[in-house]
Structure formats: C-alpha cells, structure tokens
Amino acid sequence: MSSTPRYWLMKSEPSAFSIHDLRGAPRQTTSWDGVRNYQARNYLRAMKVGDPVLFYHSNADPPAVVGVAEVVREAYPDPTAFDRSHKHFDPRSKPEKPLWDMVDIGLIRVFARPLPLDVLRREPGLKKMELLRRGSRLSVQPVRDREWNIIVKMAEKWGESLKPAVYRKRSAKI
C-alpha cells in the first residue's frame, strides 16, 4: 500500500450475514462484529468514516464480490467478546481493556450481478490483489486504488451484459 489505505474488502459468509441482510437491516447499517484475527483487527482500526468497502461473499456459490458499503462508524470495542454466551466470546478482552474492535458499515450498492472470484482471477490488473493470493484468509483487507477502480468497472460491465440478454429474450416473444 503506497499510503494509508482508503479502500477495503470485507468477507462474510452469506449464510451468516449476506449483503441482502444488510439491505434489510435498520438504516441499512450493521456493526461488523466477530473479527478475531489481529491483522484484520488492525485494519479495522485503520478505517475512517467514508472509506468504501467491497462486500464479499465467502463460502458461497459462487464466491463473489456482491456490492459496496462504506464505513459509517470507526473502530470501537466489540461487545460480543465480553459476552460469555456468545460464540465469539474471548475472556482476554475486558470492557476496561478491550482486545477486539468492530466498525459499522452502511450499504451503498448491491451489484446487479455478483462478480465471481474466477472472473476476478482472469483480470491481469488484479494479479496482486490480497483476495486472490493463494491461501489468503484475511477477512478484512485493504484494496489498492487501482484494484478498486478495476473491480467497480468490471461489476458495471458484468451487470450490464446481463440486461441486453434478458431484454432480447423478452422482445423476441419467446
């Protein structure tokens, strides 16, 4: 990263929380709790209000970038770490000295068509992207400016290409 990252990618398993869940959430906003990896946490702490985020569906069919969100609240303690009954409870994190943080994000856009991982892999400009690195497991990661621009353009084209096909079908009175 040449300077402070401004663009990000966040992974979620759609069976746990999808971009459609975000669309249906109050104020189309959610807190991003449950991150229990130090590198991902440090990226959460680097996020600024207004930073754009690619929303990625992992463990999905197909795995894909599905839309855009933005940071609406900067890092603050993740209360699920204090909750003994919670799946992500961590006794090392105390309210007086929190170990894990979260941010809030708000929905910006749901792509017309999810942009699949294998399509991203075919784009030469994305060769160095963290998401595409072999064995990459980081659930919160920075995205380079150039990568961001490429992906947003790809998503537009990818969605548009669907519409003419559907339109043709309909107008052909099949």
Q: Which is nearer to DNA, 18 or 139 (CB)?
A: 139
Assign 41 to helix, strand or coil. Answer: helix
DSSP one-letter code for 78: -
| The only residue of 20, 23, 39, 160 in contact with DNA, by rule CB under 7 A | 39
Binding residues for DNA restricted to 115-174, rule: CB under 7 A: 117-118, 133-139
Q: Rank residues 6 and 11 by Cβ distance to DNA and give the closer one.
A: 11
> From residue 63, how far is each of 11, 12, 66, 160, 162 by CA, in Å?
10, 10, 9, 20, 19
Structure tokens at 174: 């099949």
Neighbours of 150 (CB within 10 A): 18
Site for DNA (CB under 7 A): which residue of 28, 29, 31, 58?
A: 58
Give, in order, the Cα–Cα distances in Å from 38 to each of 34, 48, 54, 60, 75.
12, 18, 20, 25, 14
* C-beta of 38 vs 167, nearer to DNA: 38
Using rule CB under 7 A, residue 42 touches DNA: no
Map residues 4-23 to x or -, x wherever contact with DNA holds by CB under 7 A: -------x-x----------
Smallest gap from residue 97 Cβ to DNA (A): 16
Query: Does the protein bind DNA through residue 28 (CB under 7 A)?
Result: no
Q: What's the CA gap between 132 and 118, in Å, rounded?
A: 9
CB atoms under 10 Å from CB of 38, counted, come to 10
Here's the x/- map for DNA, 68-107, by CB under 7 A: it reads as ----------------------------------------
Q: How many residues bind DNA (CB under 7 A)?
A: 18
Both tokens of 6, joined, read 């401004």
User: Of all helices (H) and strands (E), which one includes residue 143?
Assistant: strand 140-143
In the complex, the residues that contact DNA under the rule CB under 7 A are 11, 13, 37-39, 58-60, 63, 117-118, 133-139
